[in-house]
Amino acid sequence: MNWTSFDTWIVITAALCAVACALPGCFLVLRKMSMMGDAISHAVLPGLAVAFLITGTRASSAMFIGAAIVGILTAVFTQWISKVGNVDRGAAMGIVFTTLFAIGLLLIVRAADHVDLDPGCVLYGAIELVPLDTVRLGEFEVPRAAAVLGVVLIANFGIVVALFKELRLSAFDPALADTLGFSSRFFHYLLMTMVAVTTVASFEAVGSIIVIAMLIVPAATALLLTRRLIPMIAIACGVAFLAAALGHVSALTVPRWFGFDTTTSSGMMAAMTGLLFGLAWLFSPSEGLVIRWLHQRRGSDGLRGGSPAQG
Amino acid sequence: MSELLKSMSPAGDATGEDLSFHPDDVPLAIHDLTVAYHRKPVLWDIDLDIPEGKLVGIVGPNGAGKSTLIKACLDLVPKTSGEVGIYGKPYRDQRHLVGYVPQRESVDWDFPVSALDVVAMGTYRRLGWFRRVGKKEREAAMAALEQVGVGHLADRQISQLSGGQQQRVFLARALAQDAKIYFMDEPFAAVDAATEEAIVKLLRSLNEQGKTCLVVHHDLATVSRYFDWLVLLNMRVVAAGPTSELFTEENLEKTYGGQLNLLNDAAKALSHATR
């Protein structure tokens, strides 16, 4: 394996993205809104396209704002359709994000006649190219994507730290949150905004597939390993970081073992989150399949040990 | 004390709403309240004044709108028309006076929090935005847990509690809100005998402190033992007043109209009560 500073930057950028996603992801999972991350990350596409068509550049600030607005609109439309149309929220979500995604694709294909903004890049990203596009931060030459994702990560972390008790309350018991004067609707849209902004920031660098993986899988993995919120968030961030690092390393090495060339890193990172989830599912000390199987065996072997205490 | 004084100030001054019909010494005054879901009325033209310091049972058949009544009082569901005054003012100005116990099934008990964390949520309004739960709040939460007899379970994750213990955690959380009027949505639903007793004890002690409790209740057999005031509800208020005057076969028939099984229950309950 030939490790260069390029690889280091790729891992750093991916890790920043992964952890930035894992933070709002924990609350998505706890609110049972995992699919909302999926929906928003697809639906931002027309925002990107429209901003591009209006400004004519890929200058990220305009595209950033356009996409973030559409991301939040996804949440608003979903709420609205399920309420007014009296349909299931999942169905409403499906209607909104497929429609927006399709519009976005059409717009991009139209625009792509003249410029380089292609749908494949949006889906899979181009993390291998991240180190080429740099900005100066003081004395350092830093990839632009890493700088943007760093800012988003700090913002997400700041929000989770500052509003931890309110986020937890509104996720656990929105009705009580409302009666106490902490509008659960505000926190719903705050979370949706965090997801939309994080998605858009991650988009160019790593693509939407990995965003969806990083939003949900680290949080779901952490939930198998702990029953407390702060450790859950910490573990989710750790899993996200690990998946990013291992993903890149194995993208470089694993295919070689089988005689293939290296594969795409972001795909491997997403696959790695799945692998880590699988490990947690099998070997978690409290919920794991192995432990439960052992308990069952011990239970059926004899009555001497007694059954594990309930409650 | 300042909160108390605030609640005694003339009605309506903060909001400009006309609440002149709401005397500010009445814990809960409901006027002309109608609530509809998707154009189907759930509550129709409710007029109700709850006197202070009563243990009030809200009784009626399934779908009578009992939970909706509580939720409408707390601005959790939109009112189609009508007004609700809590000590003479709209709910949003009186949050500090109100404690709420939602139905136990309304939350996900697999959520990663401890019993103590849940109870501490009752102190959040006093804490306000951004401020963290400190020693004072944790002590208040612990005291509330002990008052309902589950202090030893403070560090348990809530899914490891039995149904009755979970219900007590919810009650402890309302206690931690330190309110003057409590709204409880079916606290007695599917709890064990020990929990039922603990809840009754708690209600009595709140009652002795002069607090007002509104409790949605299902079990007609225990109504007359638990509550000194009743609201008989079936979309409209069938009757409201002291239990001793209201708990008659005629009133129950009016409330449960036509539902034979329930009427039998009612008859049984009445024979219980008169025995």
Residue ranges, chain B, pLDDT below 50: 1-19, 260
Query: In terms of residue numbers, what domain contains B82?
Result: 2-274
- B129: closest CA of chain A, how far (Å): 8
Judged by CB atoms closer than 8 Å, whether chains meet at B111 and A30 is answered as: yes
How high is the pLDDT of residue A120? 66
What CATH number is given to the structural domain containing B32? 3.40.50.300
Binding-site residues on chain B for chain A (CB distance < 8 A): 38, 71, 74-76, 92, 95, 98, 100, 102, 106-108, 111-114, 117-118, 121, 124-125, 127, 129-130, 132-133, 157, 159-162, 165, 173
d(CA A132, CA A296): 55
Residue B168: CB atoms within 10 A of its CB come to 28
Nearest by CB to residue B107, choosing from A164, A172, A223, is A172
Determine the Cα–Cα distance for residues B120 and B64; give it in Å rounded to an integer.
33
Cβ–Cβ contact A159 with B under 8 A = no
Give per-residue pLDDT as tens, A124-152: 777 888 888 888 887 888 888 899 899 99
Q: What is the residue-averaged pLDDT of chain A?
A: 85
DSSP characters over B62-92: TTSSHHHHHHHHTTSS--SEEEEEBTTB-GG
Does residue A303 belong to the interface with chain B, where contact is any CB pair within 8 Å? no
Give pLDDT tens digits for B7-40.
444 443 444 444 455 567 889 999 999 999 878 8
Quote the strand ranges of chain B, DSSP E.
Answer: 28-37, 40-50, 55-59, 81-85, 98-101, 181-184, 212-217, 229-234, 236-242
Residue B245, judged by CB atoms within 10 A of its CB (0-12, 13-18, 19+), counts as exposed
At residue A306 the predicted structure's pLDDT band, cuts being 50, 70 and 90, is very low
ipTM here: 0.84
A293 vs B: CB within 8 A: no
Q: Give the H/E segment covering residue A142.
A: strand A140-143
How many Å apart are CA A18 and CA A33, to the nearest integer?
18
Question: Helix (H, G, I), strand (E, B), or coil: what is residue A304?
Answer: coil
Nearest to A172 among B113, B159, B165 (CB): B113
Choose the closest CB to B111 out of A164, A165, A172: A172
**What pLDDT does residue B2 have?**
46
Give the separation between CA A35 and CA A16, rounded to whole angstroms.
Answer: 22
Buried b (16+ CB within 10 A) or exposed e, A223-245: bbbbbebeebbebbbbbbbbbbb
Nearest alpha carbon to residue A167 among A197, A189, A152, A150: A189
How many structural domains are present in chain B?
A: 1
Contact A199, A38 (CB under 8 A): no
Residue of A nearest to B177 (CA): A180
| Three-state SS at A309 | coil
Domains of chain A: 5-219 (1.10.3470.10)
